Amino acid sequence: MAKSSDGKYEKILHAAIDVISEKGLDKTSISDIVKKAGVAQGTFYLYFSSKNALIPAIADNLLTISLESVKEKTGGKSSFWDILEVMIDETFRITKEYKDIIILCYSGLAIDYSMEKWEAIYQPYYVWLENILKKAMQRNELISDMNVKWTAKTIINLIENASERFYISQSQDDGIEVFKMEVFNFIKRSISNPS
């Protein structure tokens, strides 16, 4: 059930990630990608309809990696605050490691008014966190009057944005630990059950 014969889909996808990370989306040509992937020019179009079709695939790939990593690291944990800590740690780690791909996703998804695709791609992450939140609410760890859907999205965004400010916008007024702690506390103050 492989995507295709020789894993050419993956070859092209990873070559694209490599080259675009290095040269930026604009400066990267299909020619660069197929050269790196070791396939012919025309082969690209057997797997991707166009250059822009790459970006959702890349973004999806990145989010899948992130989510799996978070799921794995939070495997045994039940306390919401432990899970939140892992989410923060992992988001910072992944932002650092894949900052070039993240930039590419920003520039790429803005093309063609395809911003809505973000939401589709993030959907599994949102759903996962919604469930976490619900369980924590049942355990009275969190306040009860909370819009779970909205809060899940906001928390994910808040963490991601903080780490992007840190690693991409180079806004490093303080050390990374301060950054992480601020994120944690900002969220905790807002949604923990004071009981």
Are 57 and 105 a contacting pair, CB within 8 Å?
no
Q: Is 97 in the site for a copy of itself (CB under 8 A)?
A: no
195 binds a copy of itself (CB under 8 A): no
**Binding at 118: pick from DNA, a copy of itself, none (beta carbon under 5-8 Å per type):** a copy of itself
User: From the list 5, 144, 147, 195, which residue makes contact with DNA (rule: CB under 7 A)?
Assistant: 5
Please tell me whether residue 157 binds a copy of itself under the rule CB under 8 A. Answer: yes
Nearest CB to a copy of itself, comparing residues 61 and 192: 192
Residue 19 lies near DNA (rule: CB under 7 A): no
Q: Which does 65 bind (CB under 5 to 8 A by kind): a copy of itself, DNA, none?
A: none
How many chain residues interact with a copy of itself (CB under 8 A)? 44
Q: Contacting DNA (CB under 7 A), which of 18, 30, 56, 158?
A: 30
Residues that bind DNA (CB under 7 A): 3-6, 8, 27-31, 39-46, 50-51
